[in-house]
Amino acid sequence: MRSRRSCLAVPGSNPRFLEKAQGLPADEVFLDLEDSVAPLAKEGARKNIVAALREGDWSGKTRVVRVNDLGTQWTYRDVIEVVEGAGEFLDCLMLPKVEDPTQVVWLDTLLTQIEKANGLEVGGIGIEAQIENARGLVNVDAIAGSSRRLETLVFGPADFMASINMRTLVVGEQPPGYTEGDAYHYILMRILMAARTHDLQAIDGPYLAIKDLDGYRRVAGRAAALGFDGKWVLHPTQVEAANEVFSPSQEDYDRAELILDAYEYYTTVEKRGAVMLGDEMIDEASRKMALVVAAKGRAASLGRTTAFTPPTA
Ligand code: GLV
Ligand code: MG
């Protein structure tokens, strides 16, 4: 699986941003043709994006292009121009405002045709589906299972809040007047369950108050704690924060590797099922939890600072 702790939004209409994004340490960049690009700038943005993908240095990053949603007149040309122009330099397309599985199937079929016609590996280009309205959330399980190309489900809070008439104008913050808990909890969990059911990643969307880094960390930390894999970043200052929040702490990573080693030792050498590690009892379920944290730590290139020493007889 590709690492997607930080997913950087880059408007396709802005060549300066397309250039600058290449130097930032984001795990993913998505070059946008949708809501950050004005209607009259869409055609020029397609050309900018094709040129940036072909000529830019995106090494180490997952390269994604967000096309326009299927309610517009732009989607099919977005897909054809971008994939014919730069298909071999592209990892995924992001489809916004997905409402039902047939929309993903449409994109999958079109991609297959373009790949065949252009000598690209069939199935090589993945899909990221944005869930950003009530219909998309109600159909999220079917959407998550609709194509083998799907790699992630992405929550789109701005469009989502508008779609359900939530009384807030600050994306990512709690609606004033609601004091019962986290207004986003159900939506995030719903998306996460669908993603995990189909082995997809779950990505949280944007936080628009780009000057408020503490707010970003708080909201990102909430999604990371639930199990989300990453979050959008709209500004360079948010990149480091996302990479940090979605990586395990050094302490948790060390502990996870220790649990894996200890469990391996006791179950194979001493042939015991449930064992003690310090004050904590660990078993097969603890091993699974440790695997998740260890995998995230390894993906974030953390190194171990402690080693397991088997007890001496
Ligand atoms: C992102 O696309 C959003 O609507 O929040
Ligand atoms: Mg949106």
pLDDT recorded at residue 199: 96
Instruction: Give the CATH number of domain 6-245.
Output: 3.20.20.60
CB-ligand 1 contact for 11 (6 Å cutoff): no
Give tens-digit pLDDT for 109-126.
Answer: 999 999 999 999 999 999
Q: Is 205 near ligand 1, meaning CB less than 6 Å away?
A: yes
Q: Where are the domains of the chain?
A: 6-245, 250-299
pLDDT, tens digit (0-9, with 9 covering 90-100), for 52-89:
999 999 999 999 999 999 999 999 999 999 999 999 99
Residue 313 has pLDDT above 60, yes or no: no
Q: Which residue has the higher pLDDT, 181 or 47?
A: 47
Tell me, in angstroms, the distance from the centre of ligand 1 to residue 179's CA: 24
Q: What is the mean pLDDT of the chain?
A: 95
Predicted TM-score (pTM) of this structure:
0.93
Cα 132 to ligand 2 centroid, rounded to whole Å: 6
Share of the chain above pLDDT 90, in %: 83
For residue 26, the model assigns a pLDDT of: 97
Which of 98-102, 135-139, 198-202, 290-294 has the lowest average pLDDT?
290-294
Average the pLDDT over each of 40-54, 83-97, 110-124, 261-275 and give the range with the smallest value: 261-275
Mean pLDDT of the region 93-97: 98
In this structure, which residue's CA is closest to atom 2 in ligand 1?
Answer: 156
Which residues are within 5 Å of ligand 2 (an ion), measured at CB?
Answer: 132, 156, 159
Residue 147 has pLDDT above 70, yes or no: yes
pLDDT in tens, 207-237: 999 999 999 999 999 999 999 999 999 999 9
State the SS3 of the chain: CCCCCEEEEEECCCHHHHHHHHHCCCCEEEEECCCCCCHHHHHHHHHHHHHHHHHCCCCCCEEEEECCCCCCCCHHHHHHHHHHHHHHHCCEEEECCCCCHHHHHHHHHHHHHHHHHCCCCCCCCEEEEEECCHHHHHCHHHHHCCCCCEEEEEECHHHHHHHCCCCCCCCCCCCCCCCCCCCCHHHHHHHHHHHHHCCCEEEECCCCCCCCHHHHHHHHHHHHHHCCCEEEECCHHHHHHHHHHCCCCHHHHHHHHHHHHHHHHHHHHCCCCCEEECCEEECHHHHHHHHHHHHHHHHCCCCCCCCCCCCCC
For ligand 2, the distance from its centroid to the CA atom of residue 232, given in whole angstroms, is 12
